[in-house]
Structure 1
């Protein structure tokens, strides 16, 4: 989807923005004597979009000895200043931004890779990177199109006024909310809970809009976000705003067990905001992979989680019908505010083996897992990720396609010749280093940003919905708060997310605050494969794009779909099937897109 575009006409930069997105506030344009800034998304706060864009232009347009820190928000921005052009994205990288380069000169900038890549050769290395796991896309410069590059999260690209590349500065430095020094000793649970509560309140406050929707699933995470939003709106004087509570309701199957929790969460939230509108949608007829070729084929890039789009799309549509301008979720709480299991890796690599063993036993007892399972997952695999996957595959394969298939090893349906020719092994190494890094207990927070909230669906639907999804638990301030806590503070065997529960103890109803398990969405996945398995296999066998057969052994991929349909494999192997199917659908619809009409807005740099 193209929200903004920058081109050069006779050496003069020209900007275009999508009219409808500008009217909805999803794209903001500000100008001053210093230049012009166009921002997709929001800076500072959802309600302060214009002020945030103006502050960004003021801070970055004037020469300084050191670049200012990037502000908090979900945004991609293009700044045309008097002496340069700046392209940037926030660290969380929710809003995409791409540029086409030739001979050291940038010719076009856009939020749509597909619009820039029309007619370009496909970049086969990208597909190897994509197929290593569902976190690969947002933190890799590669795009599906040769010559089209991604601006990474937290990166600033500086160009001359004629488009000559001056520099790319990765802004992976500490931001305003990051701790300057990692604390060796932190507050106890009480102090940590107060810090988290304040950070989460601030994160929710930044995301509350004119009319705010909150997803309510009946779990601790989404209920906490909705409660804080309700209290914030109830406390406002003169501008109470509006609050919509969104939930999907299942009348049968295992997900029906979530209904009492949803009802209790709704009732508690409405105690603080009686005017909040509960919108509970019957979802018994929704299944994963409904209309899969549309959901997977139309985005700018292959979308590994397109199979889940039907459920989320139904909720989005309800919020859009009511005129909501932001939708808050509880995504990200599991990896961010739970105890960090990779602390065990730190103990092992620093020689504290006795302490590591003792804590691993506590962890195993609290999670009802075996000691070796804990040590293998959080000590051995991060140290030797690719080797650990190979050993697991040898032990568990037993004649199946999905047996033992993890997140990095080559799936058997990806042709070995294609993988060798286009760098699959190097891509797997790069992905494993991103996921675990030298310090897995810190890399967890970086990886969680991309794993917990895969929302290309939100971006693709933004024009029709009028909002983006937003995730308070992935706010930089919340992440910084948790990352500086000692692991022992957050870990209580048998009580996950102990700091969050303590932080929200005065608001969460006891039934929700005390629950430790939620019913997963496996029912939707199983129903989707039962319903659409044959269609998915037909999609693979009838695919006409030449890259499909060049890349995949189609019959082996079809066999993997059948195994998943029969319940074989696990979440890792199913992810690999889902991403491969999404790629097939994306390639099949690649040539069917057309450029959307844009409203022209010429930009003339101030002299």
Structure 2
């Protein structure tokens, strides 16, 4: 999906933006004597995208030290008199790619497919993709040879003829790195989080705002703050509020309904005009219309199996004209006590304190002390070794012991060796845990939600991108600053968030410590579509599928998952591989897209 495209032909670049997306407010183009900026998404705030685009152009068009990136979900191209800048925000919500060869860029687009050739696929990318769900957003590789990704937080400088001049990573204004520090501004941890979260929500308010509401602490907190800001007319919030939820009438998930009803009631007490849109989801199962959801994505989409549920909800929000949709995504790793703090204690030799905290966590949860130490101390130190040992212990089935990094049995050994699977697994483990796993957790949490291929592909029709206040750089920086003693309270997950929202959360929701897992749609989907998934694999025509996968073993994995064997990690590996099969088949069936309505913008050198 091409929201914008830049072609370097002759002495001046040619910038085109999709006019339909401009009308929906998803692309903003501004010009000044310094040049032209095309911003996909928003920089600064959703409700004033024009001002944010002008500020971005003004800041980066000036000579001198490079400014920090503004907070926002955006990809931008700045065409100035003497240079072209390609920029993505640090959270990397909006994709941006460049086709380059020999130090020169020939084209830039938000679509990898729009720049690449289906006949020239990058096999190293597929090894990277198959190592885990977070592999795509933080690697330069794209599925197509010669097409590279602009990374999150990266600023790439080109000449007006496309010659590469430099590339550098830039930090978001206000973000912090380093170890936690004690609170010094006189506010309690809850007050600090409340202040940061309110600002994060305020930046995302548009004319008609939709909030995912599930009845959990996270989504309810976002919806309550949205209602409060809209009612007070703060942060530019003068629009309408839609409460978007999926409702299950039977099965385990029906147990979430009392919490959902209470959340909606609490939000409407603050904003009586809020419109609940409760979508019946009993007939929705994972893998419904899987060839469409997995095959039409710009890149392989590991979570395409869950797209039927979210697409139904998002279609309901689109019918009401919502221009922004807020979620509670990211709260679990961001505002809860960081479990990898145990690794830091062990790393610094504070073993007695580490053991004491591990026991406290075990007493408050369902894991034993050994499980907690293995997961949060040993595995981050030796991730690949731990997975290999686990695989040997649980061998005997295709899915048994399959973790995030080890080669899945259906990936052919020769393909993996030839195209760098081992190096890809090591790179993924370094990203997920890093030298300091307690810091890597925040990066991994962000990339787990970014970019969202379903939201991106449907944006021209829906008129909005998903946005996640808990993953706002200011919220992440606030939680990083807090010491462990402020966030870790045994038996009380997300203690700081509960403190921050104590005056607003309904008692039933404030007191709950767990949610019903979203397993039933997956189980129903495998039962309903397992045979079709097997047939799809056996009938696959793309030559790379047979080169890459042992189809019989992949089909056996599907059968095992149907029987309930394996765990969430092994199922994710299987789901991602199935999505890749469908995506490759989609390349064979791809038809030349009709040119969309575009507006050319010419900028002289």
SS of structure 1 residue aligned to 2:94:
coil
Residue 63, structure 1, aligned to residue 60, structure 2: no
Change (3 A) 1:384 1:343: same
Q: Give 1:521's match in structure 2, choosing from 518, 523, 543.
A: 518
CA apart distance, 1:181: 5.9
SS of structure 1 residue aligned to 2:210:
strand
What are the equivalent positions in structure 2 for 1:437-586 lying under 5 Å apart?
437-452=434-449, 455-586=452-583
Query: What does residue 77 of structure 1 align with?
Result: 76
Structure 2, unpaired ranges of 5+: none
User: What per-residue deviation string (whole Å, max 9, x for no partner) do you get for residues 79-100 of structure 1?
Assistant: 0001100001000000000000
SS of structure 1 residue aligned to 2:267:
helix
Change (3 A) 1:527 1:541: same
Structure 1, unpaired ranges of 5+: none
Query: What does residue 45 of structure 2 align with?
Result: 45
Query: What does residue 229 of structure 1 align with?
Result: 226
Residue 212, structure 1, aligned to residue 213, structure 2: no
Residue 112, structure 1, aligned to residue 119, structure 2: no
Distance in 1, Cα, partners of 2:302 & 2:290: 11
Q: Is the 8 A contact 1:115 1:595 kept in 2?
A: no
Q: TM-score normalised to the size of structure 1?
A: 0.97
Change (3 A) 1:170 1:188: closer
CA apart distance, 1:304: 0.2
Distance in 2, Cα, partners of 1:599 & 1:542: 37
CA apart distance, 1:182: 3.8
Query: What does residue 274 of structure 2 align with?
Result: 276
Q: Is the 8 A contact 2:180 2:480 kept in 1?
A: no
Query: What does residue 332 of structure 1 align with?
Result: 330
Distance in 2, Cα, partners of 1:414 & 1:146: 21
Distance in 1, Cα, partners of 2:206 & 2:545: 43
CA-based RMSD: 1.5
Of 143-152 and 230-239, deviating more is: 230-239
Distance in 1, Cα, partners of 2:10 & 2:185: 62
Q: TM-score normalised to the size of structure 2?
A: 0.98
CA apart distance, 1:138: 0.2
Query: What does residue 30 of structure 2 align with?
Result: 30
Distance in 2, Cα, partners of 1:425 & 1:554: 21
Distance in 2, Cα, partners of 1:506 & 1:593: 55
What are the equivalent positions in structure 2 for 1:352-501 lying under 5 Å apart?
352-397=350-395, 399-452=396-449, 455-501=452-498
What are the equivalent positions in structure 2 for 1:52-201 lying under 5 Å apart?
52-64=52-64, 66-171=65-170, 173=171, 175-179=172-176, 182-186=179-183, 191-201=188-198
Of 417-426 and 14-23, deviating more is: 14-23
CA apart distance, 1:114: 0.5
SS of structure 1 residue aligned to 2:249:
coil
Change (3 A) 1:355 1:447: same
Distance in 1, Cα, partners of 2:79 & 2:338: 42
User: What per-residue deviation string (whole Å, max 9, x for no partner) do you get for residues 415-449 of structure 1?
Assistant: 00000000000000000000000000000000100
Q: Is the 8 A contact 1:159 1:167 kept in 2?
A: yes
CA apart distance, 1:152: 0.4
CA apart distance, 1:180: 6.4
